[in-house]
Amino acid sequence: MNLDSLTNEEQKILELVRTVMDPEVAVNVVDLGLIYEVHYQEERKRIHVVTTLSTRGCPLGDTIMRNIEVVIEDQYPGMDVDVELVWEPEWNPDMITEAGRAAIDG
């Protein structure tokens, strides 16, 4: 996971991804701890986001991933946006941020 050492551009991308909500809990995917890595590779014209889901077989998984892709593509036309789904490390509730916990019980 590289979220603690993001470049300015990667931080901007993360903020874009923060607008993507999990429709079931109405909390954004960053605060839910679903985003593991964000890579901005200018020379390769590629943005790579590594993400997971809170549970396998989540029926909203495809929609969430597509949503991440769309919000980035919208702001970075001409870049190749690759949203990769991984299951390791396995997501657990400890990955939810304080803001995410507050929003869940909002």
Partner 1 sequence: MIIVAVILFGINTLMSAAKTDRKNIENVFIITAVFWLLLTVILGIIMALNFAFYFISGSHLQLLKMHVHIGFVGWFLLLVIGVASKLMPMFLIVHKLPRKLLKYAYYLINAGLILLSVGYYYFPEIWFLALSGSLVIAGVILFLRFNYVAFNKRIRKKLDVGMKLSATAFILLAISLFLGTLSVLSPKFLGAYQTRIEIAYGVLIVFGFLTALVLGQTYKTLPFIIWLKKYQSKVGKIKVPLPMELYSDKLANYHYYTFVSGIIMLMIGILASEVIAIQISSGLLILTAALYNYNVFKIILHKEKK
Chain contacts with partner 1 (rule: CB under 8 A): 20-21, 23-26, 54-60, 62-63, 66-71, 74, 91-93, 96, 101, 104-106
**Least CB distance from residue 5 to partner 1, whole Å?**
27
Q: Which is nearer to partner 1, 45 or 56 (CB)?
A: 56
| Least Cβ distance, residue 8 to partner 1 (angstroms) | 23
Query: Least separation, in Å, of the C-beta of 53 and partner 1?
Result: 10
CB nearer to partner 1: give 9 or 69. 69
71: left (phi over 0), alpha (psi -120 to 50) or beta: alpha
Residue spans of beta strands (DSSP E) within the chain: 21-22, 27-28, 35-41, 46-51, 80-85
Q: CB burial class (10 A; 0-12, 13-18, 19+) of residue 74? A: exposed
**Token pair belonging to 15:** 């903020």
Q: Smallest gap, in angstroms, from Cβ of residue 55 to partner 1? A: 5
Q: Counting beta carbons within 10 angstroms of the beta carbon of residue 34, is it exposed (0 to 12), middle (13 to 18) or buried (19 or more)?
A: buried
Residue closer to partner 1 by CB (options 39, 61) is 61
- By beta-carbon proximity to partner 1, the closer residue of 5 and 55 is 55
